[in-house]
Structure 1
């Protein structure tokens, strides 16, 4: 079964064409700067790469362009759109409505629209992608796969905030968590490596957006992101955990509106704000190696926050069998993995520095032989999760 996996952002569109049964990636790409000047980067399998720079005014035109490229004579990925069996959509926020993936219906779209206040930057674009696909490919089923669904197994004591309970019952104010497809995929891969279903796993999804998840016996019991993706770790431009009192203090001192303070904490803080260099950790690491003090402090803050969550979640899990590093930073930044694990020897966490320095695009074990806890680097594959869920819901 061929599944067209779509991740529609406010000005971007990521896509993959996957054989959901075999896992084979047929094609992938990214459309950026929709509505501005437009850039489409398209890959066929793992070999052929194409780049197009042309005006792409709308998401509809972006999707139509992608479909033309998939079916044209130059690529020959598929001969016709009719070869696509189903479409899987990434949806950022499913609230408490959705604890699993669902076939898209009018009612599903209405519920996702109801959740727009919880994800104002993401859910509208996700909905737009669905509606466009329904319009231009009306006979092909659509499936919504939610970032928040995996975390719906969290117990009440771990997802509630310590505020009056009516704010939860009336306004749905609680921790939801994100990166659920990644945490699900990586924790399941770790379970296979451990060869035990009864397991206590901590997944560190570290990228421009980052989160940590405690997974017990394959189920999320706590995660670092909250009502929105702003809570938790120090990220590329997000501040992560912060004293709530900082918000009115800054609003008064800097004469900010609510919209401006949220923009400030989401887009101007984190690695970018502390380092004053970039939101790209690679640039900050390079500066730190050249003895830039702010860059060095930024890296220490980043690693200490991750370490804090690892220790906290080890307590919630009553021990830990494996720590997993994934996503752009987790998979590629050996310095971050080293500093996060340094000082955790008292927990039986011992990293092998030679293994840690090795580069690979495959899952690998980087702990020392005498480590009581396994340390894995596991490349995430959120698109494959979306494709497989889509297949399971539409194969009959």
Structure 2
């Protein structure tokens, strides 16, 4: 088998992977798979080319670690693609801080610097870096490339990047970074074919999944994001709180004696849809439930989407297109319908039948603002960045950037 490229994408409760052939300057997908439900009922599925998915439980079908998921992925690839020669491995890394503004080839020094950012993304960064370490051991001769979720948002105006804190804290790196950048890049690569007259104007993209955020994109560039210093801010998520008055944390510390560790556990693992409903972090389970707590959690989630949609439109002085992506954004037609209900003031009128069918265009023909459903492909974005950084001939992604700054 000729040399290929692998991508590894570790989420808070999942691990996605893919293998690509290197053809004519573009990655050509050979196989893909994922392990999901790692915190509850771990399951693994993968497919080679266009073959049917192969599904199996992971371990005993209960919770599983990201390391178990990665071992299962590498074992499956070795079984289905014997003699696999890996030229490069692309890794999703959630937080690049203020130092990493684009893809970078991983060295021991780079890995050490990335570990310093683990406190800023405790749900993801440790798993991202563990994946890099295991893959470097499995493929020591391959080029390993870190691709950052924060890079797409670099270059925001000061007013969009700063908090109302002393200036020296901003200079020290306490600022809004934004996340899900690889997903937004993927959407913006696909959108021109669907929306040739709107894609480079004023676009709001809603990445809705277990992690959720929204982004204002103008002229193809990110200008504002609902997420900030960490991946806790903005929309409520599967188990993360979203926007929160910092006074709540002061109260919990003073009145309940909670320390940093207990607050981290609360905010990252016990809030969001899971905490609001007391049932599940999975939107599919909440939609299927007739319990009022489930419906209240959904209403809160949708209400925050509406609020952020209005805020992002105000930032751009209007909007020309709305895009839904991510696991919920792509598959939950009721959530899209609720989010756009009453949005005529923004110029959006939904086509209910098109929305239930999944799009890709879900706005009515006469709607002034178009609405779309776009399937994100973060793995393809990682693959292109990796080919470029490893010198394998890929065309650069829009707004590709380079390593900037040094650690103090």
Which range moved further: 195-204 or 60-69?
60-69
2:193 aligned partner: 192
Q: Deviations over 1:177-225 (max 9, x none)?
A: 1111001111332233221463111000011110000011111111011
Matched, 1:274 2:244: no
- Displacement of 1:297 after TM fit? 2.5
Q: Deviations over 1:75-115 (max 9, x none)?
A: 3xx34132x22110110110111111122223322321222
Aligned partners of 1:347, 1:12: CA distance in 2, in Å? 35
Aligned partners of 1:58, 1:229: CA distance in 2, in Å? 21
Unaligned runs of 5+ in 1: none
Judge conservation of contact 2:14–2:34 (CA < 8 Å) in 1. yes
2:313 aligned partner: 314
In structure 2, the CA distance between the partners of 1:237 and 1:3, relative to structure 1 (3 Å rule), is same
In structure 2, the CA distance between the partners of 1:348 and 1:213, relative to structure 1 (3 Å rule), is same
Judge conservation of contact 1:351–1:371 (CA < 8 Å) in 2. yes
1:230 aligned partner: 232
In structure 2, the CA distance between the partners of 1:294 and 1:123, relative to structure 1 (3 Å rule), is closer
Aligned partners of 1:296, 1:374: CA distance in 2, in Å? 28
In structure 2, the CA distance between the partners of 1:323 and 1:174, relative to structure 1 (3 Å rule), is same
2:54 aligned partner: 49
1:346 aligned partner: 345
1:389 aligned partner: 385
- Displacement of 1:38 after TM fit? 8.2
Aligned partners of 2:262, 2:29: CA distance in 1, in Å? 41
In structure 2, the CA distance between the partners of 1:239 and 1:60, relative to structure 1 (3 Å rule), is closer
Aligned partners of 2:330, 2:373: CA distance in 1, in Å? 6
Which range moved further: 249-258 or 57-66?
57-66
1:201 aligned partner: 203
- Displacement of 1:49 after TM fit? 0.9
2:399 aligned partner: none
TM-score under structure 2 normalisation?
Answer: 0.85
1:71 aligned partner: 78
Aligned partners of 1:246, 1:339: CA distance in 2, in Å? 29
Higher relative contact order (CA 8 A, sep 6+): 2
Given candidates 101, 104, 107, the residue that maps to 1:102 is: 104
Secondary structure, aligned partner of 1:284: helix
- Displacement of 1:9 after TM fit? 6.1
Given candidates 78, 83, 92, the residue that maps to 1:80 is: 83
Matches for 1:91-170 after TM superposition, within 5 Å: 91-170=93-172
Aligned partners of 1:217, 1:30: CA distance in 2, in Å? 33
TM-score under structure 1 normalisation?
Answer: 0.88
2:220 aligned partner: 218
Aligned partners of 2:157, 2:177: CA distance in 1, in Å? 11
Judge conservation of contact 1:191–1:199 (CA < 8 Å) in 2. no
- Displacement of 1:251 after TM fit? 3.0
| Aligned residues between the structures | 384
Q: Deviations over 1:97-153 (max 9, x none)?
A: 111112222332232122223223422332222233223322111111111111112
Aligned partners of 1:15, 1:115: CA distance in 2, in Å? 23
1:26 aligned partner: 30
Matched, 1:379 2:375: yes
